[in-house]
Amino acid sequence: MGRHKSLKKQVLEQFQSNGHRSFRAKEIANRLDLTDNDDYRQCRQLIEDLHADGRLKRVGGNRYTYRSKDDIRREKSSGKQAAAEKKASAGDIPHQLEGRITVHPDGYGFVDVENFEEDFFVRERNMETALDGDFVKIGIVAPRKGDKRRQAEVLEVIERGRTEAVGTYRKSGKFSLVVPDDRRLTHDIYVDPDGDVSATDGDKVLVSIDHYEHRGAAPQGRLLSILGRADDPEIQTLAIAMSMGVRPEFSEQVIAEARKIDVDLSRDALAGREDFRNETVFTIDPEDAKDFDDALHIKDIGHGRYEIGVHIADVSHYVRPGTALDSSAREKATSVYLVDRVLPMLPEGISNNVCSLRPNEDRLAFSCILDVDSHGEVGKIRVTESVIRSKHRLSYREAQAIIDGRRPGHELEETIQQLNGMAKSIREARFEEGSIDFDLPEIKIILDDDGTPVDIIPRPRFDANRLIEEFMLLANRHVAMEFGAKESFPFVFRVHEHPNRDKIVELSKYVKMFGHDLPHKNGEVDPRRLNALLRSIEGTSQEPIIEMAALRSMAKAVYAVENVGHFGLHFSHYTHFTSPIRRYPDLLVHRLVKHQLIHGMGNNPPIGKGELADLCDHCSEQEQTAVQAERESVSLKQVEYVKKHVGETFAGVISGVSKFGVFVELNELLVEGLVHVRDMDNDFYEYDESTYSLVGQRSGTKYQLGDAVTVRIAGANEVKREIDFQFV
């Protein structure tokens, strides 16, 4: 007890003596030389206790700062901390704040500060040495006359957002530098040409960012590795992911641990597991998939009821806390699906073999067993460690052929048809309850053996896809309801907050221009109203435009320990349980559920709520990075493909309008590009905000969303990943 009090005092003193700074738990532990894992956990818990006691306040995600008496008095006088944003909007803003900066390629930035809905604009001359992603201290500056934006200047870089970058190596005389791929890194990085890694001009490289202390000087770093030639298609897509901080490699220790795992199941491994090897278990996955992490079975148990088994690869049996494998998976947090490859969260020996639910091989699973009626209504649920043996591996196309009746006599015909009927009932009921039916079309880029794009086609969406989707949603929902119900026991929820009210008001105005209504109460919208809108535009030319606008008005789904429900699905409880091979949150959920099954909710959880909250934040950030990397890799191949068609003319539809131009999506090539207003030289065009259109001041010509147009491809820039059109 004495040591606990002493450590708590030391932790508080670190915050008190640095009242102007914010710290992560790890930074405080380092300052106190707490190298032991148990000591770090205790430090983490003490910081949470101090936060709960009101001695510390949380800023910038998982950072904390000292809450002074002045802070407390200020909060009391203003009512509650929830009034902070209201005060800020009235102009009562502290002189100094901390937040994360996002840099625009043109050099200016925006700082996101917790409790402020609007970010702070930083002009290029006020950036100091801040780089994109840095956690910075800012000072408030007076805006220019007529400028309503909140403005600030960077006073200090508290923490670098990134210490590495990917770029192209250039040698110029005595100097060597790296031009970053990420255009938000607006400075070239100077490197020592005589360093440990030797590169040639035009190499794609990984470089450290070691020093950047003066605004007038360039950042300095070291070459860490050579990825390959900058013009190699495979290197280009890999560089996209790596420039965002994704690291595809595994350490030797991780690989060694993975190799030690035995795929053959011992008697000890099977002990206490429910045996489903005699059930007709099967998988449905994409044709090129190798990491099969979910399987199904259905069994008639009489009286009009059925047993549905949702079997998930038992990754938690093999990847244990405290191992190099777990540390690596935690850091990556997700597999990354680029246009031409997968960068797996786990080594391939685990993801594609040991844990993959391959046909005719015994595999350990964690199974969610649902007792349902013929419509998929759930009665009871249980979750159990199990062993399964998949009897069939189907692709979505093969499963769809069975659904369509094109594979009569197939061994799984009755099973697939029965599950498909249930899935349709579950899906329809879900939408009636308020789940929003976002079903945006996706594209598939066909590459040749060299990685060059040869075609772009719509990605097929089958009933077979929806079948799997519905049963995964069902399992995720009921696992969350069953095991995330007790607030005192930490759990990982997949949450989706209600949309911003202003965005819903704007969306309502937007769809009215197309002749549709979206009723709301001061920006509060019933998801069933959104569904009614989306169903009313099905099959029309307006569908993709309005559906995308509705999607952009939504909040992002994230991982959290505090359950606020899932607006988009209209579920009170939801989690991710069904993909532990490729998502770390699912692995965490498996561990938490297993702990409850073995020890109950009353015992100490395997991880504290604060540490779990930090992990949720990290996993959400990594997920967004992975999504962005996937999109950028697709954009790169789209630009490459379009370059072959420069000068050609195509029909398209206006998909967006802004004051700087008109976005057009081509019907045939399935790509989007911009007709810049500077190239619309037949008139002077002004943006009409009320109709979301560009209007010619002399001719009255109007370019509006949904209009059919014809354009010529004027150019395609692979570096910026932009396509330029001209009207014809």
Percent residues over pLDDT 70 in the chain = 95
With residue 727 as reference, give the H or E element that holds it. Answer: strand 722-727
From 392, 386, 351, select the one nearest 368 (Cα to Cα). 386
21: its two tokens: 């700074």
pLDDT at 306 over 90: yes
Average pLDDT over residues 8-35: 83
Give the pLDDT confidence score for residue 74 in this predicted structure. 53
Tell me the pairing of strands 392-395 and 282-285: parallel
Look up residue 248 and give its amino acid: P
pLDDT tier at 332, thresholds 50, 70, 90: very high
Top-tier CATH class for 2-67: mainly alpha
- Cα–Cα distance between 50 and 671 in angstroms, integer? 53
**What does the pLDDT read at residue 617?**
93
Q: What is the pLDDT of residues 557-586, one digit of tens each?
A: 999 999 999 999 999 999 999 999 999 999
What are 91-145's pLDDT values in tens digits? 556 788 999 999 999 999 999 998 887 899 999 999 999 999 999 999 999 877 7
CA 283/CA 638 separation, integer angstroms? 32
- How many Cα atoms are found within 13 Å in the side-chain-facing hemisphere of 481? 15
| 87 pLDDT higher than 70 | no
Question: Contact, 236 vs 230, CB < 8 A?
Answer: yes
Q: Quick check: do 2-67 and 75-159 share a fold?
A: no
Question: Which band of pLDDT confidence, cut at 50, 70 and 90, is reported for residue 544?
Answer: confident
Structure tokens given for 434? 């308020």
Nearest of 718, 722, 671, 240 to residue 456 by alpha carbon: 671
> Residue 253 — pLDDT band, cuts 50, 70, 90?
very high
Mean pLDDT of 545-562: 94
- 621-672: pLDDT as tens digits: 999 999 999 999 999 999 999 999 999 999 999 999 999 999 999 999 999 9
**Residue 534: its pLDDT value, please?**
93
Residue spans of alpha helices (H) in 434-542: 463-483, 501-512, 527-536
* Res 80: pLDDT: 44
Q: Check whether 36 has a pLDDT greater than 80.
A: no
pLDDT tens digits, one per residue of 399-427: 999 999 999 999 999 999 999 999 999 99
Q: Evaluate if residue 469 carries a pLDDT over 90.
A: yes
Calpha distance 601→402 (Å, rounded): 44
pLDDT on residue 78:
46
pLDDT score recorded for residue 195: 79
- Report the alpha-carbon distance of residue 64 to residue 61 in Å, rounded: 9
pLDDT tens, position by position, 143-191 = 777 777 899 999 999 999 999 999 999 998 788 999 999 999 999 999 9
**Chain segment 353-385, per-residue pLDDT in tens:** 999 999 999 999 999 999 999 999 999 999 999
Residue ranges covered by each domain of the chain: 2-67, 75-159, 164-243, 262-321+333-345+352-357+367-403+434-496+563-631, 501-554, 645-727
Task: Decide if 724 contacts 712 (C-beta within 8 A).
Answer: no
- Band of pLDDT at residue 71, cut at 50, 70 and 90: low
Does the pLDDT at position 51 exceed 90? no
Which phi and psi angles does 137 have, rounded to 5°?
A: -100, 135
Q: Is the pLDDT of residue 58 over 60?
A: yes
Q: What integer pLDDT is reported at residue 60 of this predicted model?
A: 60
Q: Is residue 266 over pLDDT 50?
A: yes
Q: Which residues contact 120 (CB under 8 A, 6 or more apart)?
A: 97, 99, 110, 111, 113, 138, 140, 150, 151, 152
Homologous superfamily of 645-727: Nucleic acid-binding proteins (2.40.50.140)
Instruction: Kindly state the percentage of the chain with pLDDT values over 90.
Output: 75
Residue 390: pLDDT over 50: yes
- What pLDDT is stored for residue 508 in this prediction? 95
In the structure, what pLDDT confidence band is assigned to residue 594 with cuts at 50, 70 and 90?
Answer: very high
pLDDT surpassing 80 at residue 272: yes
Q: What is the pLDDT of residue 89?
A: 46
Q: CATH assignment of 75-159, given 3.30.360.10, 2.40.50.140, 3.40.50.2000, 3.90.79.10?
A: 2.40.50.140
3-state secondary structure 386-420: EEEEECEEEEHHHHHHHHCCCCCCCCCHHHHHHHH
Report the distance separating Cα 410 and Cα 18, nearest Å: 70
- Tell me, what's the pLDDT at 92? 59
Q: Is the pLDDT of residue 468 over 70?
A: yes
CB 436 within 8 A of CB 325: no
Partners of 299 in the β-ladder? 307
Share the mean pLDDT of the chain: 91
pLDDT at 90: 41
Burial of 53 (0-12, 13-18, 19+ CB in 10 A): exposed
The stretch 486-504 carries a mean pLDDT of: 93
Of 232, 240, 386, nearest to 311 by C-alpha is: 386
Q: Is pLDDT at 719 greater than 90 in this prediction? A: no
Which amino acid does the sequence have at 543?
A: E
Closest of 579, 593, 588 to residue 294, by C-alpha:
579
Cα separation values, 393 from 218, 288, 423, 521, Å: 55, 12, 19, 49
Q: Which pLDDT tens digit goes with each residue over 425-443?
A: 999 999 999 999 888 889 9
Higher confidence at residue 467 or residue 93?
467
Please name which of 328, 162, 345 lies closest in space to residue 245, comparing C-alpha atoms. Answer: 162
What pLDDT shows up at residue 142?
83
User: What architecture (CATH level 2) is domain 164-243?
Assistant: Beta Barrel (2.40)
